[in-house]
Structure 1
Amino acid sequence: MAEAGIAELTLRRGGAVWSQTDARAEPVDAGLRRELEDPDALVIVGTIDTTVVGYAACHVDPLHDGHAIARITDLYVLPDARKVGIGEAMMAAVEEWARKRSLVGLDAVALPGDRDTKNFFETFGLVARAIQVHRSLES
């Protein structure tokens, strides 16, 4: 499922660079397994009945002032399972996990022009705090 999420985002504007800089590295499953064992990380699945239709992953990211935030690295729901609250339930679980650890914020990425993702995160109070720019030097 993680590979499907990466493949979907790679095709979007900004996704080609994102897939090489910020996307989960291969082998994807090994990285998720490591995070499952990491007390400073969270990996959860979203289900309909007993069928897994989404997943989310985040980790503690220390700040310069000694505080820390939860950095959401993965949040993906299969296309046919979207718009029924799976992503919302996973975001609520991520927020609860972060609050229990006294983290001071949540960070996530929405690719340029990805209004659905931007709007989704905004419903949870996340707002843009930076615009990252890139220029390819390849022909």
Structure 2
Amino acid sequence: ELAGQRGGAVWRQHLGRPDDPADSLRADLAAAPERAVVVVGTVDDAVVGYGVARVEDLADGTVLSVISDLYVHADARGIGVGEAMMDLLVAHAQDAGAVGIDSLALPGDRETKNFFETFGLKARAIVVHRSLRP
């Protein structure tokens, strides 16, 4: 879904998951199960979204929670599924003693930016890129 947005093609190649993310999610959890969490959002027992966060070490010995994935199927948006998953990811970060939470919103993706801002996340960096492909 993000691949078609500005910056999305490079994001997908660099940080995105395959179309069927199950194997890559299992691999992430197996690599560091004590530092990662996967949550799912459901409506009437049907999975309509998922979120992934991991705790990363910072240079000063503290830890940062990084939300790498947060997705809700388009038909299930606007009913609180994303908010419920975000609450769980924030709780995981707090339980881990994280000093903060990072995630990514692509340029011009106001909906994602506004969503994160409701949870207190604010832009702290801008990633710039220049394609070297002809």
TM range, smaller chain:
over 0.9
In the TM superposition, what is the alpha-carbon distance from 1:26 to its structure 2 partner?
A: 7.9
Q: Which residue of 63, 82, 88 maps to 1:87?
A: 82
1:73 Cα offset (Å): 0.4
Letter in structure 1 aligned against 2:39: I
Output the CA distance in 2 between the equivalents of 1:137 and 1:83.
39
Is residue 103 of structure 1 aligned with residue 98 of structure 2? yes
- Unpaired runs of 5+ residues, structure 2, are none
Partner of 1:9: 2
User: Would you say the 8 A contact 1:47–1:86 is kept in 2?
Assistant: yes
CA–CA distance in 2 between the matches of 1:79 and 1:62?
34
Paired residues, number: 132
CA distance in 2, matches of 1:43, 1:20: 21
On the 8 A contact 1:53/1:78 being kept in 2, the answer is yes
1:48-67 matches, cutoff 5 A: 48-67=43-62
Residue segments in structure 1 that go unaligned for 5+ positions in a row = 1-7
Residue 5 of structure 1 is matched in structure 2 by: none
Q: Matches of 1:24 and 1:30 in 2, distance apart?
A: 10
Q: Work out the CA distance in 1 between the residues paired with 2:86 and 2:56.
A: 17
TM-score by length of 2: 0.93
The 8 Å contact of residues 14 and 111 in structure 1, kept in 2 or not, is answered as yes
TM-score (norm: length of structure 1): 0.90
